[in-house]
Amino acid sequence: MASLKRRGTDVYNWLERRLGLGTPALEAARHNVPASTSSWWYVFGSAATVILALQVVTGILLALVYSPTASNAWNSLEFLDQNVQLGWYLRAMHGWGSDFMIAIVLIHLAQVFLFGAYKFPRELTWIVGVFLLLLTLGMAFTGQVLRFDQDAYWGLGIGASIMSRVPIVGGPLVDLLLGGPIIAGPTLSRFFTLHVFLIPAILLALVGLHLLMVLRLGINEWPMPGRLVNKTTYTQEYHQLTEKTGIPFVPDAAWKDAVFAAVIVLAIMACAFFFGPFGPTGQPDPTIIQTAPRPDFAFLWIYAVLAYLPASLETPVLFVAPVLAIGGLLLLPLLSGEGEKHWSRRPVAVLMIVLIAVTLGVFTRLGTYTPWSPVMNAWSSDPIPVADLRDRTPLEREGALVLQNKQCRNCHSIGGAGGMRGPALDAIASRMTEDQMIRQVLQGGGNMPAYGNALNPSETTALVHFLLTLRGGNLQHAVDASRQMVLSSQQSPVPAASTTEGH
């Protein structure tokens, strides 16, 4: 036993004599950090690194089977899911790992921001971190493309359409993105190269740099209200703090990182096991148009924003907003590198985090049920509530048929079923008069197409008569105020002042 141990030491010494990596690595692991940093708030960066390792391993394993050609990528995923032992599980872990990665990276960013860790002397660590965030999102998008299904195909179409809006160089940019005239084989090869070679290489290099700077500059101390960062004194203060309260990072502080990393990996394994892999959805066949493409979870909020932007603002917002957002993130530590670190003295920082989180949350939520999209089969599948058909005249029932056949339900709901693009029609008669309905149906307006060419006069009459019965239970009919005034003024002339009331 003792000789075995000695033999092991000899091997280590032989290697160490030649590599010289062990001593500095041990020194780095055992370096002193302020005791306050041994906190559950300081575990997200290391967790992200562990997930990165998991993604690299699962990614390499998937690449053993995946076929990066447009004609076979989808089939090879089905093969992975159905025919390769545990192929589905590896796919699931890689997919869930990607979602966890984005979540942990965002939490890490918010924590670093709220703790003022980006301030002097850690500005460059933050800037490198911003690029790591962008690369992580790049991995998520290119990874979604490699799952070469319907969503990936039309997602590339959305990407190309966004690129095409770039002034002047839009056309060449689309060609570069697609690698050819259409979304096809060369496009997938490009994204494979990005996802497997280019982005990971940059990502790993920058993670190394990021970690190196954390070691070199020391982990950010727990902020105290009133303890301001000053460029002339900070380094000395930090060293004093480390000397006074220092504990070795390994093992005194690192056990929390290790526990959290284990929990996160276990969570990914559990999600992968219980919820399975993402997709693939339908085959990447553009001739199958019965599809409602949707991006992965991390990009749903962008998908939602694109639905709500007015046409005139879309192109400017698409290209100005990212520049401002990324520019703001990059400039933040340079513009506010000193001063207060503690969140309780930085209300604007806290408000910003809350505002951004709520905004992203709301748009992501909207993206999960896309109220702006017509429900393409509502007209043929959603029933009209029986109560709306009982005791109706033949003309009114005919109108209900027109409503159904002309696909009004795709955008308008009745009884909670149907599209949400337009207003629900349950109480439409309490809001619009007959004249207003006729005008709206025939001429459209307010984001509704004109149906003048799709309806003949008798259909219009029937439809409007049916709509007039929809009073949300028993609300009052909408009344045209001006018409009443005209009628009453015809009966008895009224003073001029009172005629303005209706407006």
Partner 1 sequence: MNPSEPLSPNDQNSAAETAAPQQSASHSRRALLFKLSLLLNGAVGAALAVPILGYLLGPALKKSPGADSWINLGPLGDFPEGETRLVNFRSPQTTPWDGQTGDIPCWVRRISGRQFQVFAINCAHLGCPVRWFAQSRLFLCPCHGGAYYEDGSRASGPPERGLFEYEHRIVAGSLLISAGKLPTLATRACNQKPLTQIQATSASAQSGDNSWPA
What is the nearest approach in angstroms of partner 1 to the Cβ of residue 431? 15
Residues 54-93, interacting with partner 1 (CB under 8 A):
69-72
Interhelix angle 254-275/44-63, nearest 10 degrees: 40
- By CB under 8 A, is residue 202 in contact with partner 1? no
| Listed residue (80, 34, 28, 35) closest to 59, CA to CA | 80
- Which residue in 47, 109, 127, 183 binds partner 1 (CB under 8 A)? 183
- By CB under 8 A, is residue 282 in contact with partner 1? no
- By CB under 8 A, is residue 284 in contact with partner 1? yes
> CB neighbours (10 Å) of residue 384?
20
What is the nearest approach in angstroms of partner 1 to the Cβ of residue 193? 11
Element (H, E) at 33: strand 32-34
- By CB under 8 A, is residue 491 in contact with partner 1? no
- By CB under 8 A, is residue 194 in contact with partner 1? no
- By CB under 8 A, is residue 4 in contact with partner 1? no
What is the nearest approach in angstroms of partner 1 to the Cβ of residue 136? 24
Q: Distance between CA atoms of 109 and 329, rounded to whole angstroms?
A: 10
What is the nearest approach in angstroms of partner 1 to the Cβ of residue 447? 5
- By CB under 8 A, is residue 413 in contact with partner 1? no
Residue 475: what residue type?
A: L
> 433 has which bridge partners?
none
Q: Distance between CA atoms of 120 and 236, rounded to whole angstroms?
A: 12
Q: Distance between CA atoms of 27 and 413, rounded to whole angstroms?
A: 67
- By CB under 8 A, is residue 331 in contact with partner 1? no
- By CB under 8 A, is residue 314 in contact with partner 1? yes
- By CB under 8 A, is residue 233 in contact with partner 1? no
Which region among 39-47, 305-313, 389-397, 494-502 touches partner 1 (by CB under 8 A)? Answer: 305-313
- By CB under 8 A, is residue 175 in contact with partner 1? yes
What is the nearest approach in angstroms of partner 1 to the Cβ of residue 470? 19
**By the 8 A CB rule, do 325 and 101 touch?**
no
Mask of contacts with partner 1, 433-452, x by CB under 8 A? ---------xxxxxxxxxxx
Residues 92-131, interacting with partner 1 (CB under 8 A):
none
Judged by beta carbon, residue 136 or residue 440, the one nearer partner 1 is 440
- By CB under 8 A, is residue 407 in contact with partner 1? yes
> CB neighbours (10 Å) of residue 113?
19
- By CB under 8 A, is residue 173 in contact with partner 1? yes
Phi, psi of 414 (to 5 degrees): -130, 135
- By CB under 8 A, is residue 301 in contact with partner 1? no
Q: Distance between CA atoms of 478 and 394, rounded to whole angstroms?
A: 23
**By the 8 A CB rule, do 462 and 395 touch?**
yes
List helix spans (H) across 64-198.
73-82, 87-114, 123-146, 150-164, 170-178, 185-193
What is the nearest approach in angstroms of partner 1 to the Cβ of residue 305? 10
Judged by beta carbon, residue 167 or residue 347, the one nearer partner 1 is 167
**By the 8 A CB rule, do 341 and 119 touch?**
yes
Rg (CA), the chain: 31
What's the distance, Cα to Cα, between the start and end of the chain in Å? 99
Residues 134-153, interacting with partner 1 (CB under 8 A):
153
Q: Please work out the total of residues on this chain that contact partner 1, with binding judged by CB under 8 A.
A: 83
- By CB under 8 A, is residue 410 in contact with partner 1? yes
- Which residue in 286, 337, 385, 415 binds partner 1 (CB under 8 A)? 286
- By CB under 8 A, is residue 198 in contact with partner 1? no
Which region among 34-42, 111-119, 454-462, 494-502 touches partner 1 (by CB under 8 A)? Answer: 454-462
Residues 333-372, interacting with partner 1 (CB under 8 A):
372
- By CB under 8 A, is residue 165 in contact with partner 1? yes
Which region among 36-44, 165-173, 210-218, 256-264 touches partner 1 (by CB under 8 A)? Answer: 165-173
**By the 8 A CB rule, do 129 and 109 touch?**
yes
- By CB under 8 A, is residue 321 in contact with partner 1? no
Q: Is 52 helix (H, G, I), strand (E, B) or coil?
A: helix
> 33 has which bridge partners?
247
Residues 238-257, interacting with partner 1 (CB under 8 A):
none
- Which residue in 61, 146, 174, 400 binds partner 1 (CB under 8 A)? 174
What is the nearest approach in angstroms of partner 1 to the Cβ of residue 457? 6
Which region among 92-100, 105-113, 287-295, 355-363 touches partner 1 (by CB under 8 A)? Answer: 287-295
Phi, psi of 39 (to 5 degrees): -140, 150
Phi, psi of 179 (to 5 degrees): 70, 15
Q: Is 64 helix (H, G, I), strand (E, B) or coil?
A: coil
- Which residue in 193, 245, 373, 436 binds partner 1 (CB under 8 A)? 373
What is the nearest approach in angstroms of partner 1 to the Cβ of residue 435? 13
- By CB under 8 A, is residue 488 in contact with partner 1? no
Q: Distance between CA atoms of 377 and 27, rounded to whole angstroms?
A: 65
- By CB under 8 A, is residue 276 in contact with partner 1? no
Element (H, E) at 234: helix 234-245
Counting other chains too, the contacts that 78-86 makes at CB distance below 8 Å and 24 or more residues apart are 78/280, 81/277
Dihedral (C-alpha) 333, 335, 340, 342: value to the nearest 10 degrees? -40
